[in-house]
Structure 1
Amino acid sequence: MKKYILFLSISIFIISCSEKNKNKDKIQEIPIEIIVDRFDQAFFETPIQNLPKLKSKYPSFFPADVPDSVWTNKMRNPQWRELYGEVQKKYPDFNNKKAEIEDLFRHIKYYYPKTQIPKVVTLIYDMDVQYKTIYADSLVLISLEMYLGKNHKFYEFPEYQKQTFEPSQILPDIVQDFSLNKVKPPTQKDLLSLMIYAGKQLYLKDALLPEYSDEDKIGYSKPQIQWAIAHEVDTWRFFIDENLLYNTDSKLNQRFIAPAPFTKFGLVSDNETPGKMGAWLGWQIVRTFMDNNKDIPLQKMLVMDASEIFQKSKYKPKK
């Protein structure tokens, strides 16, 4: 009997690997050509007297109510020019990232064939953590000053934010923006629904960025991933014991889902934890659901109710 079970397990594993390889081959056959427009270079390399020509070429980047003096001051400003120099050192060309973005959109087109292939525009914005990338159907904007590496001298941000300023975060950030139009927001506002919503967004990164590490997908460091794995059972037990799963307190999102330096369990050891452990657990629930319901396609799962996903996942963290 044991030999039969072992044989069956091996057979299922081989079939699963074969299916994944077939999908991978199909994805790589999808023709994608991304156009990259280096607006960051165009802006800072344009002589001030040629600003009207630049505005004519990029009208959407120059709001009509903003006077030209704002742009000419930015062109001259030593700090902005120094920042531009740092961006050019890091990204003298964008070929490697262009190839990665093309591979990303092969995966997107595989799951969502009607997706429009956008133009990619790189720029230097205002170091706004909320707008590192912007995905708008026909356009992807990438603020390169936000991807210079977490230890860059220009960054005066909390550590948990700086660790997401690595070049490896560009594609996960694009997918996060893409997910906003593909992942159904929760109809319920209890913690479990919020966890599974975040978990769906992370699972979409599993599908679209299969070569990326879990650290890059969620924005953790390696020690933080190790902590999350090691304390999955403890965290789940905490949510159960504290009756938090179906609690609708609006503060729970900030405590357990939103980016933060640590997760706010209310314990003396909180500062040893990574932030957004609720999102991490939601990710594991969604992964378990997809492992146990292989007949349900990604697109359908992303719009299913959290309660159904949780019930059918049969999630039970392993010690």
Structure 2
Amino acid sequence: MLKKIFLICLVATLFSCAEDDRREEEIANIAVELDVQRFDQRFARATADSLPALKRDFSFLFPRQYPDILWVEKMNDTIQLELNKAVANEFPSLKKTEQDLESLFQHIKYYFPERKIPKVITLTSDVDYRNQVVWADSLLLVALDTYLGMDHPLYAGVQDYIKKEMRKEQISVDAAEAFAQTVVPRPGSRDFLAHMIYYGKILYLKDLLVPFKTDAQKMTFLPEEMAWAEANEDQVWRYFVERELLYSSDSDLYTRFLYPAPFSKFYLELDAEAPPRLGQFIGWQIVKQYMEKNDVSVEEMVQKDGGTIFKQSNYKPQK
């Protein structure tokens, strides 16, 4: 009997892998027009004389209330010059990033064919790590000075948990998240569970849109942090259930388990070793199990309320 069950599972797994391979082959053949414009390079070379032409080509980056003299001063600012040099050294070419973004856009066109592919503009942002990527309808703005690498000297004063997000391999992941946020509606409930599943939907969309990235990269985790989350999924879930946190509307839970931080806050000795945003991780597992057990489209999942997803997922954590 056990041998028969094993064979059934093996056949199902092989069939699923073959189906995934066929889907990825189809996606790879989708034509997308990748338009990347390096405003960072144009601004680094700009002068007072060339400023009018730069403003004409990138008018959306020059608010009208700021006079030209401010932009000229910025061109010659020592910090800006240092940023220009750092970006030029780290991103002399965007070949790998462009490949990742092209694949992301192909996946978006496959799952959301009505969505338009944006023009990509790379720039510097005075290391504004809170806005590394901005998806604005027809534009995708990427601040390259926030992706210079965890150990870059310019990030000496930045906390370690934020530096993890400042790696170039995260650009397409962050772009996928920025897109997902335009698709997934904000939860209508303040319940902790509803917000966990909101982030779970975004992470599930990352599974679909950037399958070439690791689960750790999708969570913006280091590999050892991902290993900890996977090994302790059952314990984290038990903590949430035993303390009756799922339907709590205490917004402090968002800070403790959903938002970027050095670690998740259980108020236990294990806090120092627990990665942040474990509520997002659990929400992701709930959404994945929901999609495995229910015949629904991606669009239907995105619109489904968190309570229904949880009930119909029959979620069981990995032990």
TM-score calculated relative to the size of structure 1: 0.96
Which residue in the other structure is 2:5 paired with?
5
CA distance in 2, matches of 1:54, 1:188: 45
CA distance in 2, matches of 1:236, 1:7: 31
Which residue in the other structure is 1:268 paired with?
269
Which residue in the other structure is 2:301 paired with?
301
Mapping for residues 155-166 of structure 1, pairs under 5 Å = 155=155, 156-166=157-167
CA distance in 2, matches of 1:53, 1:138: 22
Structure 1 counterpart of 2:292, one-letter code: D
CA distance in 1, matches of 2:75, 2:318: 56
Q: Is the 8 A contact 1:35 1:120 kept in 2?
A: yes
Q: CA deviation at 1:220?
A: 0.8
Q: CA deviation at 1:10?
A: 2.1
Q: Is the 8 A contact 1:32 1:106 kept in 2?
A: yes
Q: CA deviation at 1:4?
A: 2.6
Which residue in the other structure is 1:44 paired with?
44
Mapping for residues 63-74 of structure 1, pairs under 5 Å = 63-74=63-74
CA distance in 1, matches of 2:34, 2:24: 20
Which residue in the other structure is 1:101 paired with?
101
The farther-off stretch of 50-59 and 109-118 is 50-59
CA distance in 2, matches of 1:28, 1:105: 10
Which residue in the other structure is 1:251 paired with?
252
CA distance in 2, matches of 1:184, 1:56: 35
1:22 and 2:22 are equivalent in the alignment: yes
CA distance in 1, matches of 2:79, 2:233: 45
Which residue in the other structure is 1:143 paired with?
143
Q: Is the 8 A contact 1:184 1:304 kept in 2?
A: no
Which residue in the other structure is 1:113 paired with?
113
The farther-off stretch of 166-175 and 8-17 is 8-17
1:134 and 2:134 are equivalent in the alignment: yes
Query: Secondary structure of the equivalent of 2:269?
Result: coil
Q: Deviations over 1:84-108 (max 9, x none)?
A: 1110111112122112111111000
Q: Which structure 2 residue ranges, 5 or more long, are not aligned?
A: none
Which residue in the other structure is 2:59 paired with?
59
Which residue in the other structure is 1:287 paired with?
288
CA distance in 1, matches of 2:18, 2:24: 10
Query: Secondary structure of the equivalent of 1:302?
Result: helix
Supply the RMSD in Å over aligned alpha carbons. Answer: 1.2
CA distance in 1, matches of 2:129, 2:67: 25
Q: CA deviation at 1:152?
A: 0.4
CA distance in 1, matches of 2:318, 2:118: 42
CA distance in 2, matches of 1:115, 1:17: 27
Structure 2 counterpart of 1:200, one-letter code: K
Structure 2 counterpart of 1:19, one-letter code: E
Q: Which structure 1 residue ranges, 5 or more long, are not aligned?
A: none
CA distance in 1, matches of 2:219, 2:56: 39
CA distance in 1, matches of 2:152, 2:206: 26
